[in-house]
Amino acid sequence: MEPEINKNELIAPCGMYCGICDKYLAYSHQIPKKRGKVCHCKGCQTMNKNCSFFKQKCENGKINEIDYCFDCDLFPCKIHEQYSKKYEKRNGYNFLDSLNLIKKNGADWFVAEIEKKHKCEKCGDTICIHNKLCYSCDRDKLIE
C-alpha cells in the first residue's frame, strides 16, 4: 500500500489539483487500468513534476526548480494561458485562477476549498473533475 500523501503535494506546478483528476482517482482507488479508458497517475509532484502538459512546453525549462508556476519569471506564459483557457472551457477549472488563489491564501486553504467543491454528497469522497463520477459510489460504472 502507498504511504499517506500530503494533499498539498497533489497541487501541480501549473495549478491543477491532482486530487480531483480521473487518473489520480483511478490510481488512489485502485480502479483497474483499462487501455484507452482508465489510466493511472500518482500526481505531478510525486512523479518529479513529470506533467504531460506543461513540462515539455515550459518556455524557460525551470519547472523542476519551482514549486508553482507563479514562481517563474515568465508567469503567466502564453502556453499556460492557452491551456488554462482550453481546460476551463472543457472542465470548468482555471489553472491561473487556482495559482492566484494558492498565492493569496496558501496551499492548505486551496486544498480545503477545492475538496469541499468536489465532495460527493452521498459518501463524502471526491467527485472527479473530468467525468463527474465519485470513484467510491460510482465504482461499478468505472470498472464496466
**pLDDT per residue over 92-116, tens digit each?**
999 999 999 999 999 999 999 999 9
User: What's the CA gap between 95 and 42, in Å, rounded?
Assistant: 19
How many CB atoms lie under 10 A from the CB of residue 54? 22
- 115: which 3 cell numbers? 475538496
State pLDDT tens for residues 45-94: 665 555 656 666 777 666 777 888 899 888 888 888 988 999 999 999 99
What's the mean pLDDT in 28-49? 80
Range of the domain at 45: 7-143
Let me know if residue 2 belongs to a domain.
Answer: no
Q: What does the DSSP assignment read for 70-119?
A: GGSTTPSPHHHHHHHHHHHHHHS--HHHHHHHHHHH-HHHHHHHHHHHTB
Provide the domain count of the chain: 1
Let me know if residue 1 belongs to a domain.
Answer: no
What's the mean pLDDT in 6-23? 91
17 bridge partner residues: 11
Let me know if residue 30 belongs to a domain.
Answer: yes
Note the Cα 53 to chain centre separation in Å.
12
